[in-house]
Chain A
Amino acid sequence: MKPPSHRDYEPFELAANMEEDLGLFEAATHAPRVRLEELRVATVLVAAPADAGSPRAVESCRSLGHAIASRLGAAVMEDTVMDDMAERRVSSAEDLRQAVERTGAGLVVTAVELLGDEMSGTLLAEGPGPVLCLGRHRRRRRPGRSRDRGRHGMLDAPLLPLIDDTPASRRATAWACRLAAAAGAAGRLRVIELAGPRSRAAARGRTGDEGDVGDAVVGRIVSGRLGALVAALQRDASARGFTAEVEFRVGGPAAVLRAVADTMPEPPLVVIGRDEAERAGRDAAANLAVVLLAGPIGGVLVV
């Protein structure tokens, strides 16, 4: 076998960096200016029926609802719905949808321990507007840190997986930025650019390769697709003083979970657009939000 020639090797040992650079500059020169929407949430609805199970989960849910409401400048509504749910034995997302419509809430906060896996999944996938569902994993309480601070820390450091630039992903970006900005300089938004099926297909189209193409080529496509969103969130981070870190990963839900395991010391809050969540999986069943909820994360906010 002929050994690789140095002329093949020398420039292309850094081929991945070159593809990344090209993708970044293409994003910078093509990206349309995106303005993140100003979120206006008047009411946060805490869906935590007292008889639904774990008192600890109810307490967590209420506490988080109050914390997020204070960050969004919203009021909290809980008793009515709790009573309502208790009385009517709420058992479906449809019941909750009706409750949300009645109350006009801009965000529903609940927990998988209270609603169960199936109903939580349905709520995340088809729910009425933004839904924050607490997962089963809790942040470890550190010595000297209050219980609430430990629990609400995930609001300061949300994780935002992005697949395509869509209205839903723009909405998710606006939510994630709003949460991180509320923490001021301590706010730390982690963004994971994910290569979805469309990006992989586009990469194959570019290389003319029918099989798997290199991660670097896919990354270049993804950078181009998400450039406008990244620019918008970084501009927002610069203006409002929080930190935003962007990284690229190939894969669907598993890649997000790997990123969480690799780099996040505590279970994070994952913010995701509803249609993005559906798009992430190779099939409709693999809704990102639902898959993540079963993983080691603190909660999922689907908007």
Chain B
Amino acid sequence: MVSLLAAVADAADKPVLPMVVLGTIMTLTYVAIAFDWLHKSLAAMVGAIAAVVAALVLGVFKDEAGHSAYDRAVHDIIGHDVGVIGVIVGTSVLVEIAGRSGLFHFLAIKIVKATRGDAVRLLVAIAAATVMFVTFLSIAPGTMIMVSLALVVTHELKLDPRPAMVVIALCANSGALMTFASGICTIMIGTAGNLPYAHFFLVSTPMAFLSAFITVSYVRWYYRDVIVNSGTDSERDSQVAAFDEWALVKDRRLFYRSAVILGATILGFASAQRLGIGTDFVAFCGGTAALLLSGIHPDEAIRKVNWSLILFFIGLFVIIGAVQETGLLDWQARKMIELSGGDPVTTMLLIAVFVLGLSGILDNIPVAATLIPLVRSMEGQGFDAVPLWWTLVITANLGGNSTPIGSVSSVIALNGLEKERGIKVGWGEFLRVGGGVLAIQSVVVLAYLWIYATFGLFPGMAAPGGGP
């Protein structure tokens, strides 16, 4: 609130009261989400209604004639972000069908069999499979499959499930960095920054591998006393060899079709910019092809779209759009640039630290949603936004590693572990292991970003040294 009031002094070009009121509504909404006062979609919708009412009363939404212009303001705000919603709806349908085809379950058992039941190899295989599944299916469905697999397999092999669960929780966030469509946050930022699909392989994919490697190494070290094999090598080998992956197959034809449609959609994402089409169109084509060719009843697949998340997004976009109209985010962008002395690399690193810290305690979607207009505003003030978009992609995803509620993958893994096996990984344990991982990852991320920015390695960025 103090910082909001401080804005008053500097914001000579915009009225102060709307900034304070709408900034407070946004802050209260985030607090309600963070402290679990309301279901997050409901919190976003309540916040959106409050923001629209406040903006209308305070005259934030005005057209050129000075009249209230609800349609122009609210619908323009939502319309501006409709691409993100389109990508999420399209990929949700596709991922639901591909995830339920049994293909990934089949591969998961094949991967486990390749480890021959060895505890360390199993941990590494689980990490690799998590990254791969999240890459193709996004966080929630990919994590769900891996958590189920790890719960059952560790039980069978009489292994402590905690290392596997923590690895899945943390590596899922690395997987979300792999490509444009691997995570909701990544989709949001990639769409807002118009980041080409192929550029992900140059910037965020190497970081995904690096961060996953850090995770596995640290978790293996942290749980070194419990990652212990039971039985002899040959006993474990024969036990794992008896696993029958064919029991997971529901429809072999759907396997192949899902793989082809998923592959074609990824190719579509990669070529969208060159073809001059939106990624939301590609996602819709993928979702429609899956509905047409899967043989699954369309109602069943459409019902599985995460409509709660869509409502959450709409509410969030309206709140942030209304706040942006007041000029508060422009002011914050200016302050951020001033704080860094106008140096692009310092600004980028400041944002990185801020997002890494905030994503641990707040859902990374609102963090990204708030930072996106801030980066846009910096871009409007002449800043090269390319390094900032990549900073957001990497830090918003990895920032959730520090706490058990920082990312959806941690919530799924830890709840699954407690519900199925009655084992609780508390805040203290998770902070030690996840926080330790994030501490190392943060150092590596900051160094990585600094190297990329200093040596002009971000594809499409202005020459190093360019500032506002």
Query: A residues touching B (Cβ–Cβ < 8 Å)?
Result: 3-7, 9-14, 17-18, 20-22, 24-29, 31, 33, 227-228, 230-232, 234-235, 237-238, 243-247, 262-263
Chain B: residues with Cβ within 8 Å of the partner, total of 49
B250 pairs with A6, CB closer than 8 A: no
Q: Mark B248-292, 1 if CB is under 8 A from A, else 0.
A: 111111100000000000000000000000000000000000000
User: What residue of chain B has the Cβ atom nearest to residue A7's Cβ?
Assistant: B36
Additional pairs, 8, CB under 8 Å, beyond known A11-B411, A29-B243: A24-B247, A26-B152, A33-B242, A230-B246, A231-B247, A234-B252, A243-B251, A246-B250
List chain B residues, Cβ under 8 A from A238.
246, 252
Q: Given that A11-B415, A231-B246 are known contacts, is A25 also in contact with B141, CB under 8 Å in the complex? A: no
Interface residues of B in 18-46 (CB under 8 A from A): 33, 36, 38-43
Query: B residues touching A (Cβ–Cβ < 8 Å)?
Result: 33, 36, 38-43, 99-100, 102, 105, 108-109, 140-141, 144-145, 147-149, 151-153, 156, 242-254, 295, 297, 306, 308, 405, 408, 411-412, 415-416, 420
Task: Pick the contact of B412: A11, A31, A245, A262 (CB < 8 A).
Answer: A11
List chain A residues, Cβ under 8 A from B141.
14, 17
Q: Please measure, in the bound complex, the distance between the C-alpha atom of A20 and the C-alpha atom of B405, giving whole angstroms.
A: 24
User: What residue of chain A has the Cβ atom nearest to residue B297's Cβ?
Assistant: A262
B39 pairs with A244, CB closer than 8 A: no
List chain A residues, Cβ under 8 A from B246.
230-232, 234-235, 238
Among A11, A22, A27, find the residue whose CB has the most chain B CB atoms closer than 10 A. A11
Task: Pick the contact of B248: A7, A11, A24 (CB < 8 A).
Answer: A24
Q: Is the interface of A mostly helix, strand, loop or mixed?
A: helix
User: What residue of chain B has the Cβ atom nearest to residue A21's Cβ?
Assistant: B148
Q: Please measure, in the bound complex, the distance between the C-alpha atom of A203 and the C-alpha atom of B415, giving whole angstroms.
A: 20
Q: Given that A14-B140, A25-B109, A243-B251 are known contacts, is A6 also in contact with B244, CB under 8 Å in the complex? A: no
> In whole Å, how far is B379's beta carbon from the nearest beta carbon of chain A?
32
B152 pairs with A29, CB closer than 8 A: yes
List chain B residues, Cβ under 8 A from A28.
105, 109, 243-245, 247-248
> In whole Å, how far is A38's beta carbon from the nearest beta carbon of chain B?
19
> In whole Å, how far is A153's beta carbon from the nearest beta carbon of chain B?
18
List chain B residues, Cβ under 8 A from A18.
144, 147-148, 412, 416
List chain A residues, Cβ under 8 A from B250.
245-247
Q: Given that A231-B246, A231-B247, A246-B250 are known contacts, is A5 also in contact with B39, CB under 8 Å in the complex? A: yes
B244 pairs with A227, CB closer than 8 A: yes
> In whole Å, how far is B242's beta carbon from the nearest beta carbon of chain A?
8
B148 pairs with A3, CB closer than 8 A: no
List chain A residues, Cβ under 8 A from B140.
14
Q: Is the interface of B mostly helix, strand, loop or mixed?
A: helix
B249 pairs with A230, CB closer than 8 A: yes
Q: Given that A7-B411, A13-B306, A25-B109 are known contacts, is A31 also in contact with B39, CB under 8 Å in the complex? A: no
B252 pairs with A237, CB closer than 8 A: yes
Q: Please measure, in the bound complex, the distance between the C-alpha atom of A230 and the C-alpha atom of B246, giving whole angstroms.
A: 7
Q: Please measure, in the bound complex, the distance between the C-alpha atom of A26 and the C-alpha atom of B149, giving whole angstroms.
A: 9
Q: Given that A7-B411, A18-B144, A262-B297 are known contacts, is A13 also in contact with B39, CB under 8 Å in the complex? A: no
A22 pairs with B420, CB closer than 8 A: yes
Q: Please measure, in the bound complex, the distance between the C-alpha atom of A155 and the C-alpha atom of B424, giving whole angstroms.
A: 53
List chain B residues, Cβ under 8 A from A21.
105, 144-145, 148-149
User: What residue of chain A has the Cβ atom nearest to residue B306's Cβ?
Assistant: A13
> In whole Å, how far is A227's beta carbon from the nearest beta carbon of chain B?
4
> In whole Å, how far is A155's beta carbon from the nearest beta carbon of chain B?
20
Q: Please measure, in the bound complex, the distance between the C-alpha atom of A31 and the C-alpha atom of B109, giving whole angstroms.
A: 13
B105 pairs with A25, CB closer than 8 A: yes
Among B140, B151, B251, find the residue whose CB has the most chain A CB atoms closer than 10 A. B251
Q: Please measure, in the bound complex, the distance between the C-alpha atom of A5 and the C-alpha atom of B109, giving whole angstroms.
A: 34
Question: What 3 A-B pairs are tightest by C-beta distance, nearest first?
Answer: A21-B148, A227-B247, A231-B246
B42 pairs with A244, CB closer than 8 A: no
Q: Please measure, in the bound complex, the distance between the C-alpha atom of A26 and the C-alpha atom of B244, giving whole angstroms.
A: 10
List chain A residues, Cβ under 8 A from B253.
243, 245
> In whole Å, how far is A96's beta carbon from the nearest beta carbon of chain B?
38
Q: List 30 A-B pairs, Cβ < 8 Å.
A: A3-B39, A6-B36, A6-B41, A6-B43, A7-B36, A9-B308, A11-B411, A17-B99, A17-B144, A20-B100, A21-B105, A22-B152, A24-B247, A24-B248, A25-B149, A25-B151, A26-B152, A28-B105, A28-B243, A33-B244, A227-B244, A228-B247, A230-B249, A231-B244, A232-B246, A234-B246, A234-B252, A244-B252, A245-B254, A246-B250
List chain B residues, Cβ under 8 A from A6.
33, 36, 38-41, 43
A244 pairs with B251, CB closer than 8 A: yes
A25 pairs with B152, CB closer than 8 A: yes
